[in-house]
Amino acid sequence: MKISLVRQDRDDDIMPYDVSTETSVGDLKAIIAAETDLPPASFTIVHNDTPLLDDSKTLGAAGISDGDLMSLVLQSASSSSSNNPPQGQGSSDASVNAQVEELRQRLLASPEMQRTYGERMPDLLSNLNNPTAFRETVISLETQRRAAQDQHDTQLAALNNDVNEENQAKILEMIRQEQIDREMETTMQTNPELFGRVTMLYVDVHVNGTPVKAFVDSGAQATIMSPDCAERCNVTRLIDRRWQGTARGVGTARILGRVHRAALRLGHDEVPCAFTVMEGKDVDLLLGLDMLKRYQACIDLAQGRLVFPGGQSVPFLPESEIPKSFEEAAAQEPTVAGPGDVEDMKGDGMMWTFCSCSSTKKEPLMLIA
């Protein structure tokens, strides 16, 4: 269910949350604390003028339903001191230790809270199994938060005392950044998957009877094969060197040539396929748009399959079956120096450059990618 909270000190700051009716009041306070940097003990959640004081009670049991709007009431220092008479430093430390340990136990029991805290406070999560280190980290983070807040308030107060354009621009920038930070925190809370890493699409194929894991890339114009893969599939002898040249994108890579025709098996069907053999790619085989369009392939993400006319389909590989080197290749593309005096021709997302034909025939070279 979706609920919203309004901070007592910021009437225009509405914080949305997507929670379950089985979420406890204590867990909700911990999630709010992670997003707002407010300690759970420093505020109270009020629903229909009733404070939610029992942290163990679920939201459903507390009468909270979908779409409800609640208040976040901050406890002032004066009210805290009047409700809790001073009992010495030892009593205060014991209370802090109890609150920190309660937070640690909740984190241990809630993977959802661990994901939320892990994104923003990795040091805290790394000390989760060490109570002493966990307490020290919490105190350090709280000290840093208070110092940053004090500095922010001081800067804002100083800027407000001067109405010149430069200071007003700084105030607007601070407000803009605060809004961006709130949006990011809300997204981390409600849609954490948006910050995750998406697994690319790979399928099992056979080239000349040799099994190969092929990367499906509808954004690439040409189907590309690495020299090592060409060697394993015994098609090196079929490379037409007249098609050599340079591909330019983020970096450059040398094109060794083109295999005009080789047997590609997808599932139970075997079809002819052309490959551009290119250095500088850690992926063995990249199925580009040329072959995908030629055989009318459909990337069906709902079924997780590469579908062809007639009902034939090939499943996309799970992450566990994709070689790590393939996924890591996207993070760092190697660069290979290209030859000079070449003609640049631009394709979708990559510059394809072909050298002049080495054959004595006066045949024009065609751009295949």
Residues labelled as active-site residues = 217
Pairing of strands 351-354, 343-346: antiparallel
**Residue 233 exposed, middle or buried by CB count within 10 Å (0-12, 13-18, 19+):** buried
Question: With contact defined as beta carbons under 8 Å apart, do 203 and 267 qualify?
Answer: no
If residue 159 lies in a helix (H) or strand (E), which one and from where to where? helix 131-160
Find tokens 């030859």 and name the residue: 339
Distance CA 76, CA 45 (A): 14
Question: With contact defined as beta carbons under 8 Å apart, do 312 and 267 qualify?
Answer: yes
Length reported for the chain: 369
Cα 347 to chain center, whole Å?
28
Strand partners, 246: 254, 353
Report CA torsion sign: 83, 85, 90, 92. Answer: positive
Distance CA 31, CA 55 (A): 13
Question: With contact defined as beta carbons under 8 Å apart, do 127 and 134 qualify?
Answer: yes
**Residue 11 exposed, middle or buried by CB count within 10 Å (0-12, 13-18, 19+):** exposed
The answer for residues whose C-beta is within 8 angstroms of residue 115's C-beta and 6 or more apart is 192
Q: CA–CA distance from 252 to each of 248, 256, 281, 325, 356 (Å)?
A: 4, 13, 11, 20, 18
Q: Which residue pairs from 28-31 have beta carbons closer than 8 angstroms and sit at least 24 positions apart in sequence?
A: 28/59, 29/55, 30/103, 30/106, 30/107, 30/110, 30/113, 31/113, 31/116, 31/189
